[in-house]
């Protein structure tokens, strides 16, 4: 049985399913991923559930609520009732006031079609016309009113996390999570104070882009021509260039060798390392554009890497990851 992690008072699996791929529309999300048919989304969610995944992360920004609707429809199609899984979503602050958080919550709940918001997150620390303090206060009001079950943030610095937790504690609440980019190729949490602050505060770090938008799957190394067919915004976000493919090749080689020893895939080894190396503090939300990817990600929870394998990946990763401390130690 897969060990669970804590998300505030909720138990979740170490790996959840990121649902940005379900957006289908919208200026940002649609440039990352092509639209998925409803039956494909249903199959992805079913595969995740069958693999033991118990929680799903979406956002208003993912297709102006389309991801939320597609997710909740897929959960119902799989026979899941509200309250049987954990659902997280996010409020985008872009050019909005903090009062918009309370004003739009019923729209979010409508999009989720009866599924409660177990975790409501401020999607980013910048972009609002209101100070962060007011945004966190508005989130606290929603939790105290029973509209959401817990409050989290996304892309917050260590200082911003601490301030958010301080505001929530004054209302008898606590900050539950901070969603940030973490992977074998992106380890800035180790030197920007976020990891230390999360451990000190008891905050769970939710790792988005845990496979660095596909770079850690090894697929681009096996078929470099795939770079040209990848949407430009994804290439930019992941640093998907032939130069970077060459630079990180030693890490992909190590992932591939360890994967072979376990009868697994490089992606599964990368995910297993991520949810093991940082202990209970870090959970991951890989996305999926097809059911096999959800199956692959969920199966990573069953892998047990040896101490030597964990340390070896740590060592090779430090030479190529985004982390000044890691590079200094290499």
Yes or no: say if 33 and 20 are a contact pair by the CB < 8 Å rule.
yes
Angle, CA of 76, 79 and 82, to the nearest 5°: 60
Which one from 33, 62, 120, 208 is the annotated catalytic residue?
62
3 state SS of 283: strand
Q: What tokens does 261 get?
A: 């020893």
Helix (H) or strand (E) holding 271: helix 266-277
Catalytic (active site) residue 33 = no
Q: What tokens does 30 get?
A: 């649609």
3 state SS of 147: coil
Q: What is the dihedral of CA 133, 135, 140, 142, to 10 degrees?
A: 160
Beta-strand (E) ranges in the chain? 5-7, 10-12, 17-18, 55-57, 86-91, 119-122, 151-154, 175-181, 204-208, 282-284
Give residue 249's Cα distance to chain centre: 24
Active-site residue list: 62
């Amino acid at each position: 049985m897969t060990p669970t992690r804590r998300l505030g008072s909720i138990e979740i699996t170490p790996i959840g399913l990121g649902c940005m791929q379900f957006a289908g529309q919208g200026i940002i999300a649609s440039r990352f991923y092509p639209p998925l048919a409803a039956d494909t989304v249903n199959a992805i969610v079913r595969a995740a559930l069958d693999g033991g995944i118990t929680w799903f992360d979406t956002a208003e920004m993912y297709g102006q609520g389309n991801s939320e609707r597609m997710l909740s429809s897929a959960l119902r199609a799989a026979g899941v009732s509200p309250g049987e899984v954990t659902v997280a979503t996010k409020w985008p602050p872009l050019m909005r006031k903090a009062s918009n958080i309370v004003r739009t919550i019923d729209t979010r709940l409508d999009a989720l079609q009866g599924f409660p918001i177990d975790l409501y997150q401020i999607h980013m620390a910048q972009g609002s016309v209101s100070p962060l303090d007011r945004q966190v206060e508005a989130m606290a009001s929603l939790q105290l009113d029973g509209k959401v079950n817990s409050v989290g943030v996304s892309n917050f610095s260590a200082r911003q996390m601490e301030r958010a937790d301080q505001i929530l504690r004054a209302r008898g609440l606590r900050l539950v999570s901070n969603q940030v980019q973490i992977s074998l190729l992106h380890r800035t949490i180790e030197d920007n104070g976020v990891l230390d602050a999360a451990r000190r505060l008891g905050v769970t770090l939710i790792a988005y882009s845990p496979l660095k938008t596909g770079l850690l799957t090894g697929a681009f190394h096996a078929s470099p021509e795939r770079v040209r067919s990848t949407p430009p915004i994804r290439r930019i976000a992941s640093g998907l260039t032939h130069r970077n493919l060459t630079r990180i090749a030693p890490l992909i080689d190590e992932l591939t060798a360890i994967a072979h020893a376990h009868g697994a895939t490089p992606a599964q080894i990368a995910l297993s390392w991520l949810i093991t190396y940082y202990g209970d503090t870090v959970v991951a939300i890989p996305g999926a554009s097809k059911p096999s990817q959800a199956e692959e990600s969920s199966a990573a929870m069953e892998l047990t890497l040896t101490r030597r394998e964990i340390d070896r990946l740590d060592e090779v990763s430090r030479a190529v990851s985004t982390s000044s401390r890691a590079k200094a130690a290499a």
